[in-house]
A and B are shown apart, each in its own frame.
Chain A
Amino acid sequence: MPAAMPLSPQRRRFLMDTARMAGGCALAGGALAWLARDARALPADALRPPGALPEAEFLGACIRCGLCVRDCPYDTLTLAELGADGPATGTPFFTARDVPCEMCDDIPCVVACPTGALDPGLRDIDEARMGTAVLVDQENCLNFLGLRCDVCYRVCPVIDEAITLELSHNDRSGHHAIFAPTVHAEHCTGCGKCEKSCVLPEAAIKVLPMRLARGAPAEHYRKGWEEMEEKGGPLVEGVIDLPDRLPGPGTDNLAAPGGFEPSFTLPASPVPGAGE
């Protein structure tokens, strides 16, 4: 088009209108995007039903129909209400301390889901990972205080796999054991029964979403002892064995590379941990 040709008034109007409309839509779309993204901040105590896709995908998959809620025989699930609940409005969630998931064998919530937001590939409820239990407060957990509460352990549907009681010496009484409830994330479904049942006014064991409950090993980490077992030798040949560093005095690497200083140079009397 020659540069000098003026736009006809109609064309001018059309372009103006289109530009205005596009601008308005960009604004509205920006606001909507902000709202839609905001909805991703799932609160830590809100758990998704079994089989739920990872949160970012879930928000693109769940149509907020509530069929999972209707088919849950224990009324575990609810749909988030606007302004009243944390999760994205209309999406299903549960709060372990209120009503935990009873881990139905036939997983009716997943069967009900028409969209696959709850993955129909989940056939065995033991494979569900709604979150992971974490014993968050060892200072108040009765078992850690040396008592035998054991409630979280007893109610766990995956007892002795997801939670075990690990014995250790009770230093306080001197002649009892501590039965520490210990969660093994590999087996914990995140059903929340332990959190629901904890006898304390505020649960000492809580189910947290994976992102809060767990760390992740770096991709390139190798555990030497595992490699050793697998290969029958070190992963990399010819690695120098660095001196071990132990806590306490007598472990000055410069003075005694690779071990303890001879006891005669140590300060006199009780040597804690020297028997190790």
Chain B
Amino acid sequence: MKEKTNLPVGEEAIRLKGWWRAHRFLLLRRLSQGFFLLLFLLGPWFGLWWVAGTLAGSRTFGLLPLTDPLVLAQSLAAGHWPELTALIGAAIVVMAYLLIGGRVYCSWVCPINPVTDAAHWLHVRLGLQKGWQPKRHTRLWLLGTVLAVSALTGSIAWEAINPITMLQRGLVFGMGFAWALVALVFLFDLLVSRRGWCGHLCPVGAFYGLLGTHSLLRVSAAGRAACDDCMDCFAVCPENQVIAPALRGKDGETPLILSPDCTNCGRCVDVCSVDVFAFTHRFDSHIDAPSSPPERSRHSAA
């Protein structure tokens, strides 16, 4: 372990790249999350009905339909064949995430992400124990369960408790006690299980992860030769099991982070002081030639 490992996470990156560049994708992500929320609020708040509806289903400029494919999948499982509008809406969403990576939904759109990120921030600040860490694939099991329950009860089962749509619908239409569910998720992540909700349980994340298995947009550890083992990327990554295969790959092994769990949040790109990571596409498996470590090899897409 190098002594840098013990520095506070991200300090080196801030020193070398400046605060803004060391938080570039984090800020962009927050902007994006705010943007998607605001789109839906323009109507109720300012009477600008560019986008109407919720994340489950919406209509943009009175024309473009978008439907959450998981909600629709549950509807299908429940035995309802939806009208064409909803099917087209889901197809468009599926296409988009097939391309940019399913879990882009998690880190760039989902309104629960800022909640669990906040819980994690506080969790680290308070120096709490990891807590209960169910297997990562628990969420896949839960996804299966959700579809099975939909089929058995003939209803869109997950929507009975889905904190994501509850929060978003709450903000756009009226909250009721949905905030209590959101608070539960926050407390769960803070006290029971580090990164527990998004990282281990959420079936929506699991679904979008599956969608993005072969997505085009990927993060690559192309500059891995320059890695100085500070471990900051592991510390910030919400799914840090995805990093090692790419970063620690032997010669000839791809530097691309190919795991569907990667949310394309870009925090590793931000926090690496020697710019090992960059956004690229899944066919770009080039590796930067090793250079003397302190010098920063630069390659940036996105």
Interface residues of A (CB under 8 A from B): 17, 21-22, 24-26, 28-29, 32-33, 35-40, 56-57, 59-67, 69-71, 78-85, 88-90, 112-117, 120
Say yes or no: is B150 at the interface (Cβ < 8 Å to chain A).
Answer: yes
* Chain B window 50-87, contacts with chain A (Cβ cutoff 8 Å), 1 for yes, 0 for no: 00111011110000010110011001001111110110
B interface residues with partner A (beta carbon < 8 Å): 43, 49, 52-54, 56-59, 65, 67-68, 71-72, 75, 78-83, 85-86, 89, 135, 138, 141-142, 144-146, 148-150, 152-161, 165-166, 169-170, 172-178, 180-181
- Given A85-B176, A115-B83, check contact A32 B157 (CB 8 Å): yes
**Once bound together, how far apart are the Cα atoms of A84 and B176, in whole Å?**
5
Residues of A within 8 A of B178 (CB): 81-82, 89
Q: Which partner residue on chain A sits nearest B153 by CB separation?
A: A36
Contact status B82-A29, CB under 8 Å: no
Contact B161 A32 (CB under 8 A): yes
Residues in B whose Cβ lies below 8 Å from that of A62: 156
If A21-B141, A67-B52 touch, does A32 touch B160 (CB 8 Å cutoff)?
Answer: yes
Q: Say yes or no: B149 contacts A66, CB within 8 Å.
A: no
A115 to B81, CA, bound (A): 8
Q: Are B135 and A17 touching (Cβ within 8 A)?
A: yes
Contact between chains at A70 and B53 (CB < 8 Å): yes
Residues of the A chain whose Cβ atoms lie less than 8 Å from the Cβ of B170: 81-82
B150 touching A81 by the CB < 8 A rule? Answer: no
Q: Which one of B81, B142, B156, B157 contacts A25 once the chains associate, using CB atoms below 8 Å? A: B142
Q: Are B166 and A65 in contact (CB under 8 A)?
A: no
Assembly CA distance A26 to B89 (angstroms): 32
Q: Smallest CB–CB gap between B51 and chain A, Å?
A: 10
Which residues of chain B come closer than 8 Å to A71, judged between CB atoms?
52
CB neighbours of B142 from chain A (8 A): 25, 28
Cβ-defined contact, B155 with A59, below 8 A? yes
Max chain A CB contacts within 10 Å: which of B43, B57, B181?
A: B57
Q: How far is the CA of A93 from the CA of B141 in the complex (A)?
A: 33
Which of chain B's residues have a CB closer than 8 A to the CB of A82?
166, 170, 175-178, 180-181
Set of chain B residues within 8 Å of A21, measured between Cβ atoms: 135, 138, 141
Residues from chain A with a CB closer than 8 A to the CB of B85 are 114-115
CA distance A22 to B172 in the complex (A): 36
Tell me if B165 and A64 are in contact (CB < 8 A): yes
Least Cβ–Cβ distance between A25 and chain B, in angstroms: 4
B57 touches A65 (CB 8 A): yes
Min Cβ gap A21→B in Å is 5
Q: Which residue of B lies closest to A112 (CB)?
A: B59
14 extra interface residue pairs, beta carbon distance < 8 Å, beyond A71-B52, A90-B165: A32-B149, A59-B78, A59-B155, A60-B154, A62-B156, A63-B86, A64-B156, A66-B172, A70-B49, A80-B176, A82-B166, A84-B177, A88-B155, A115-B83
**Contact (Cβ within 8 A) B160 A70:** no
22 contacts between A and B (CB under 8 A): A17-B135, A29-B146, A35-B160, A36-B157, A37-B153, A39-B155, A40-B155, A56-B155, A57-B154, A61-B80, A62-B156, A64-B56, A64-B159, A65-B53, A66-B54, A70-B52, A78-B174, A81-B177, A84-B176, A90-B159, A113-B83, A115-B85
